[in-house]
């Protein structure tokens, strides 16, 4: 039995009929499609490396403790591994529609919270593997780590991991309550130990305290209502999804010629995408900044655990800036200021302190916050943007190389669009999620990102030619 962290529990508690808290990816492989039984054997051989995939959630009676993970004695791979095919001719639009439908369905909480879909019938002879995992199990970084575990680093199939799994007996309700009460009693002691550890390093504590305070003040300043835009508001249960992509070499060409980091260039492209979407909708853009929630990994080096280890910052994208060079410069300044603000530090400390909060109080607080968000429209955050580095080597399934690795980001209250960025083997993919009913023009956002990248690349090449002539 393994208890969820407060952050993992939050992703479980905030889910309802419209806010689906699963993250996902669509991996496209070279053809031909392997035999389904071979793919099932591949996934089965990797299960010993991912124990959480054979565990389900149990809630503590009365909410006196955070949910726990327990072995599922009825685990069947056949339930989680699904098989489907696109209708001919199997276009990209067909794949987008299928992904949208799959992402509109919640995972079954009575079973381990994951699904993998094998999709045949793509037009060019390729096939896809759609991986769908609840956010309470993984964050973006551990999700990509998981994909690297499930797949092989060469066309040659790796040896199956020894599998001596024997599910532990499920705890009774009385066991769950007793364990939760014991943890609650121990929490003040652990909290005192945490404080004493800080007091033994007063200089570090004071410095860290100032940084956290600065971060909290910076984060608070960006929670003020922003200008009302059509990409925020209530959402339904159904999703649209699309993608666009570029290469890491093109992004680096832009960065070297025009300045900034890879992340700065990517965010500048996304900024233009939203600018074109807002202009298309008739929303105001002059002088407008778009606030986006940016998850930040606080995972230590070498930490490959599955649980969520993220904090967050709120960045302001300058959609009011028309000139691409000025837009990139504004993004660079913004990200530099954001790094100095210590917003992520403040979020990380809050997550640590939540470990010591009484579980019943924490759960009640989460339920109250969710209830308020449902009734009161928020205008503090307009969208969400995640950027996760993926594996930079080719990966394989049954000897077929993975060609593209396309991400999906979930939506929650008041946020109708989201962008996930994922790098893989020299490519960068932008996965765009939209609420089905209120964002029928998600393709405009994708086209705006493409336009920005093409424009910046042309400017960078022109800049290099001008420099060479001098």
Please give the positions annotated as active site: 135
Residue for token pair 């969820």: 4
Burial annotation 325-363 (CB, 10 A radius, 16+ → b, else e): eebbbbbbebbeebeebbbbbbbbbbbeebebbbbbebb
Q: Which residues contact 436 (CB under 8 A, 6 or more apart)?
A: 100, 104, 236, 238, 239, 240
DSSP-derived pairing of the beta strands 290-297 and 22-29: unpaired
User: Hey, what are 51's tokens?
Assistant: 């124990």
314 closest CA partner among 340, 344, 345: 344
Whole-angstrom CA distances from 103 to 107, 126, 150, 154, 270 are 9, 21, 21, 30, 22
């Amino acid at each position: 039995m393994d208890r969820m962290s407060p952050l993992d529990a939050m992703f479980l508690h905030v889910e309802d009929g419209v806010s689906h808290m699963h993250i996902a990816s669509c991996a496209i492989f070279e053809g031909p499609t392997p035999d389904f039984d071979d793919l099932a054997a591949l996934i089965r051989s990797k299960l010993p490396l991912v124990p959480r995939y054979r565990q389900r959630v149990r809630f503590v009676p009365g909410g006196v403790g955070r949910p726990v993970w327990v072995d599922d004695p009825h685990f069947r791979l056949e339930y989680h591994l699904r098989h489907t095919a696109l209708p001919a001719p199997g276009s990209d639009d067909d794949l987008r529609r299928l992904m949208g439908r799959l992402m509109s369905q919640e995972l079954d909480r009575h079973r381990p919270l994951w699904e993998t879909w094998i999709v045949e019938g793509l037009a060019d002879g390729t096939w896809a593997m759609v991986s769908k995992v609840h956010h309470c199990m993984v964050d973006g970084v551990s999700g990509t780590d998981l994909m690297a575990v499930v797949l092989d680093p060469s066309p040659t199939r790796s040896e199956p991991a020894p599998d001596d799994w024997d599910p532990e007996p499920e705890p009774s309700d009385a066991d769950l309550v007793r364990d939760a009460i014991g943890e609650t009693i121990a929490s003040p002691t652990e909290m005192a130990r945490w404080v004493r550890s800080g007091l033994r390093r007063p200089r570090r504590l004071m410095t860290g305290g100032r940084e956290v305070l600065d971060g909290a003040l910076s984060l608070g300043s960006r929670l003020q209502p922003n200008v009302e835009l059509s990409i925020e508001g209530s959402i339904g249960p159904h999703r649209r999804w699309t993608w666009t992509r570029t290469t890491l070499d093109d992004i680096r060409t832009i960065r070297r010629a025009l300045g900034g980091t890879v992340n700065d260039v990517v965010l500048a492209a996304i900024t233009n995408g939203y600018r074109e979407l807002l202009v298309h909708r008739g929303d105001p853009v002059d002088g407008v900044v778009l606030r986006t929630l940016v998850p930040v990994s606080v995972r230590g080096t070498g930490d490959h655990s599955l649980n969520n280890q993220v904090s967050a910052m709120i960045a302001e994208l300058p959609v009011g800036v028309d000139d691409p060079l000025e837009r990139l410069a504004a993004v660079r300044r913004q990200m530099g200021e954001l790094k100095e603000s210590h917003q992520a530090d403040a979020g990380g400390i809050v997550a640590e302190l939540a470990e010591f909060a009484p579980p019943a109080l924490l759960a009640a607080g989460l339920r109250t916050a969710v209830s308020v968000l449902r009734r009161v429209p928020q205008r503090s955050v307009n969208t969400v943007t995640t950027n996760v580095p993926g594996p930079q080597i080719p990966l394989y399934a049954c000897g077929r190389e993975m060609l593209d690795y396309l991400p999906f980001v979930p939506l929650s209250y008041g946020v109708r669009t989201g962008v996930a960025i994922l790098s893989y083997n020299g490519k960068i993919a932008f996965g765009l999620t939209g609420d089905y009913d209120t964002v029928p023009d998600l393709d405009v956002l994708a086209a705006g990102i493409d336009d920005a990248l093409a424009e910046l690349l042309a400017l960078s090449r022109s800049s290099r030619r001008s420099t060479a002539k001098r």
